[in-house]
Structure formats: C-alpha cells, structure tokens
Structure 1
C-alpha cells in the first residue's frame, strides 16, 4: 500500500491488523481490535511493527512495509482521528439459507411455509422443537421467572435474537418435506400481505395456560395491516432505522435500532406489545427476522461482518468484554455471542432491497476540543435525556413523550414485561434513560412536560404518574459540530 498522509481509524487503520494477527495476539493479552485499545497502545504498536526490526506480526511474511508503518505514524501524529468509513453497498451473497422478504415469496413458497408452521404448531407442548416450547423461551411459560431467557436492553440483545431465530428456523426445517424452508423477513417499508391474515399466521391459540392473564385457548391479537403501517409512520420508526444505519459505532447503532424495535412492538398490536406473549404471535418471527437483517445490513455497510471487524466499530473498548468467555455465554443452550457475529459463517444471508448506501453520519463522542473550533447546525436539534426512570414499577411496555405547550413533540417506547420485577435482566438494569432529539423550533419558548403512558395488555396506552417512577431528571444540550 502507498503511504496515507491523513489516515483515519475507521477508513484505514483498523484494517492494518487482520484476523490472523488478532487470533495470534489476543490469547497473549494483546487486544488491538478496538479504537480505544489501539489508540492507547499506539506508540507500542508502532514500535513493535516498525521495519526493519519489527517483532509483530509474528509471521515475517505479514510484517508491515515502510508505507504502512509511515501511515500508522501519520495517524499518531494527527491525533488518532477516528473518522468514518467509506460505506459498502449491502449485497445478498451466497449461502445455504437465503432469507427473503415476505413480499418475494411465491404461492408455492407460502404453501411450504404454512406446512412448516403448522407442523411445529401441531407438536406437543413439551417438544423442544414445537412452536409452544420455542416461543415460550422468550418469556412465558418459563417458570420460575428466573428461567425467562429473553434479552433486551443488554449487550447481547442482537446476538441472542439471532441465535433464537436460528433455533426457530431449524425447527421449521425439521418438519418432513420442509428441509429447505428459510424464515422470511418483513420489510417494514412494505405492507403485510393478505396471507398473513390467514391460518396459521393470523393468530396462535395457546394449547395450555401460561399465566392467569393468558389461559388455555387464549388467542394472540394484532392490528390490521393498514393500522400497523400507520403506526409505524406515526412513531417515526422507519426514519429512526434510516438514521441508525448511518451510525459508524456499534454503540450508537445499537441504541438507535433497539429504540426503533421497542416502538415497533406496540405498533403491531396487543400481543406484540409485551414480551410476555409477543413471541406466540406468528408475526413475531417475521418481525424479528427483519431486525436481524437490518443488523446484518449495517454490518455490511460498515465492513463489520466478522468478529474482529465487528469489534473495530466499538467506540468503547469495554464493550468487548461481552464477547469473551465467560461473559459471551447466552441462555438457554445457545451458541456464544461471538459466534453469532459472522452470519455468512452460519450459512445464512438475507436478500437486500436496493435502497442505496447511506451517507455515514459523523459520530462525536463526549466533548469537542475548544481549540479545534465548532459550530451549531443550521437546523439545530436539542438532545434531551430523561434520566433515571425506575422501570421496575411500570407494569409493562411504556411510552415516554415530550410535551410542548400541550402537544407531543417527541416520543419513544420501551419494551418490557408486565412484571419487570420478576425479570432478572430488568432488575439488573432497573434505572433507564430515554433519549430524544427535538428540533429547537418546536420547543423554543414552550412549556415543556414529560408524560409516561403504560400499554395495557389490550395494547392501549394509559397515563402513568411520573411521580411513581422515582426521581427522573431532564438533561438537555445543543449538539455541536466541528
């Protein structure tokens, strides 16, 4: 490679060490796979890789040439700029399992999918490959409550659900004659097809009680396709997804995309509103296949499709501890979190609609250096954080709204059980924050309020007293640009 005068971490430097190098160094306590780690060890790395007396990488054939070494020194001299990558266009690729949009399925494809769904729905309630047993992993009917495995608002959210989808897809393929079935995804930009309103996808009737609120023969419910589409538009879910795909750090992408996910659940209907019963609604599987596809799309855009390239998107090195034993484990007997990163290695890919490549947004972390200069955006937004909401006292998924002069100017939902105090994951993250970005022109001079609505089991929002959720505070700031 030729010397790069102004390299950035995301565009150039993170690719200087390859998987073989990390595989060799990591067991020896040398982890240079994240921005923070490499920045902190930059002088050491320059010293041990500088030709002609380099000691790393171990294989002589893989040692850096003068141009690469000079490029790395330029990065150090320029203050370790993180920068942004040139985004790559997502593509379908080849794999044993190609998951397609539900809009791409032929009539024969739908018939085969029906056969697979009916096949696992007909299995006994204790059959580990049956619909009832697999759906129950997400929350009910696992008892005692500490046996509830679902992971939300934690480091393994995406990884756990990717493994969960694979387990469900394997069950579908175990039905005789269905060994080629793959789980389709529902692209939220498209309206649900008519066949989703027919058996076995319209609803699922519980073959036995899972909770007093969900007795035997309880049938899952959801809104009409037109109402779901309107809810997604009103909640700004598609716009949030679009913004998330522009983020170059895992932490910012993860926060925004899970926020969209949390709003998407109650937008679909009563059963999908709460994790208690959500996974029993057949739509859950197509819904979550799309969230997994969106993560895979982001991985491709950011060139983060393997474990090491994925780690290179971490803004905070401490994020990486959740991908190393023992913190990489996931219950029940799923694969470990790090094993889910490379979807291609799992033999899976998704078809990708040609929506172009997003323009990557600049991720600014913390404060800007005053000496560099800064400016306010021409159309500024105010970042508002509602900090310290005690989620354990709120009986179910809920929505937080910012009210200006009596009108809602921003809102976000939070997806949780109707009994969060019984959920170990919820208890470990009892106090949560909700972040909003609001155009300043909407709130300038306005009387501001915060409102919380909890979604009942019927999916309808009901006012919940702010005074009951602890002592939340409001932080606001004006984002600055370099």
Structure 2
C-alpha cells in the first residue's frame, strides 16, 4: 500500500466524468482477470463480520484499502489516481432518491462523434450494477428498495456517533451496516456473496467513513485508541500487510487512514 501520497476519497455524487470513466475501466479489468472474484472472496475466507467482533472495523479498513490498491493497479496511469468512492446511504439525497443511477442502472451510455460530426450513442453494461458470483450466477438486489429503511439507518448511525468508546461504537455502527444490507436485499443479504455485488465497496467505504468521522470528534484526540482494548489494538489483520516491510498489518497501523494512503473529502 502506497503511504507516500495521500489520495482523497470522494462521494459518488461528486465524481467527475473522468473519475467515473477510470473507475469503470478498473472494475472491468478486475472482472476480466478474475482479481475481483479473488478480492471479494477474502471476506468469506478471512473476514470479520459479526456484531461482537471487535476487529470488524479495523479489518474492514485494511480490506477496502487493499481493494482500492487493486483498482489503482488495474489502471496504473489513471489521472487522477483512482480512489474508492463512498455512497452515504444515510444522506438526505440518498433517503429521497434511493440508490444513485451510477450504481443502480443496468446500462450507461457513451457518446462519440464520427469524423463527419455525427454523434454515436452506445449502451454498455454498468460494471457497478452487478458482477459474477460463481459462473453462471450473478449478483442481484431488491427490485424496489424501501427508502424508509434508510431513515432507520440514519437513526442508527446518529446513535452510534454518540458512543463514548470504540467497542460501543463498533457494535452500534454494525447495525447501521446491517440496515444497508437489508435495504439492498438480494446478494447483499447473504454474507457468502455480499462482497461480490459492486455496491458493497461503495457502502462499506461509507462504513469506514463513519468510523473516521467518529474518530475525528474533538473529544477523541487519539482517534479512539485509548478506548480500544490492547488485544484489539495489537491484533493481526490477516491477510493484509504493510508495503514497506511486508509485515502483517495490525489494528494500530490502520487507526489513521493516512497510513493507508487516503483521507475523506469531508
């Protein structure tokens, strides 16, 4: 993981056309070389996804950073550098509009002008809409998600943000994450295939952002470290390692997102 340059993770609503184009290209390349399936499968093999698992948040942070690096490696010369965007499903816009078209539409259009000036419109499959789980199976979601569930997610997130310690925050924000899975339904409701749905990376980037926002509250000058049990702080986050010495990442290595080469736009 590159820790020399700090990149900014943005909202899916704030991406430029170039950033969207590069991100689509990266996803398509990961699908083609099956790296995507390999990365998604890590959650099943090595994941921490139980409410009482205190490695839920730090392990996930390492996981998303690892996937972000795979996206960057897929399109190494992308300008600007590809970062993993977040979809804040608790935002007012999300609660009113539901899943943004960028993530919900089965197809997107590209436009190109011919030498004679005529515009050609082409429909292409949206790489953020679905992916292969196991051949010939693919991911799917609720046909008509109930946006009222996002109001519940907001209430749960607000409650979690009031937590005084890391353990309480982790168990509370877990429920917010569960609400997003119930909202999406389909593949997202099944741990064995949830990471294969492309929207997983966008909603779980938001999960990491929730933690980052909690850590940066004025009363937590140490990013919540003092309220974290030593066993958690020094736990290994397998199978992820530090780029500089290839040693397994520990929770204490991921408390500050800048150590992983990124920060959030807000």
TM range, smaller chain: 0.7 to 0.9
Structure 1 unaligned runs (5+)?
1-94, 125-129, 140-147, 210-215, 353-482
Q: Does 2:72 match 1:165?
A: no
Does the residue aligned with 1:332 lie in a helix, a strand or coil? strand
The answer for the alignment partner of 1:436 in structure 2 is none
Matched residues in 1 for 2:233 and 2:17: separation? Answer: 41
Does the residue aligned with 2:8 lie in a helix, a strand or coil? strand
The answer for the alignment partner of 1:346 in structure 2 is 260
Structure 2 unaligned runs (5+)?
108-125, 242-248
The change in CA–CA distance for 1:250 and 1:174 in structure 2 (over 3 A counts) is: same
- Of residues 31, 39, 44, the one that matches 1:121 is 31
The answer for the alignment partner of 1:246 in structure 2 is 162
Deviation at 1:302, TM superposition (A): 4.5
Deviation at 1:347, TM superposition (A): 2.4
TM-score w.r.t. length of structure 1: 0.45
The answer for the alignment partner of 2:149 in structure 1 is 231
Q: Does 2:195 match 1:288?
A: no
The answer for the alignment partner of 1:136 in structure 2 is 41
Larger radius of gyration: 1
Deviation at 1:290, TM superposition (A): 0.0
Contact 1:116 1:178 in 2 (8 A): no
Matched residues in 1 for 2:221 and 2:29: separation? Answer: 34
> RMSD of the alignment, in Å?
1.9
Does the residue aligned with 2:263 lie in a helix, a strand or coil? strand
What are the within-5 Å matches in structure 2 for residues 51-130 of structure 1? 96-124=6-34, 130=35
Q: Which has the higher helix share?
A: 2
Deviation at 1:305, TM superposition (A): 6.3
Matched residues in 2 for 1:311 and 1:171: separation? Answer: 29
The answer for the alignment partner of 2:102 in structure 1 is 195
> Aligned pairs, how many?
225
The change in CA–CA distance for 1:151 and 1:305 in structure 2 (over 3 A counts) is: farther
Deviation at 1:205, TM superposition (A): 2.0
Deviation at 1:228, TM superposition (A): 4.8
Q: Does 2:255 match 1:320?
A: no
Deviation at 1:301, TM superposition (A): 0.8
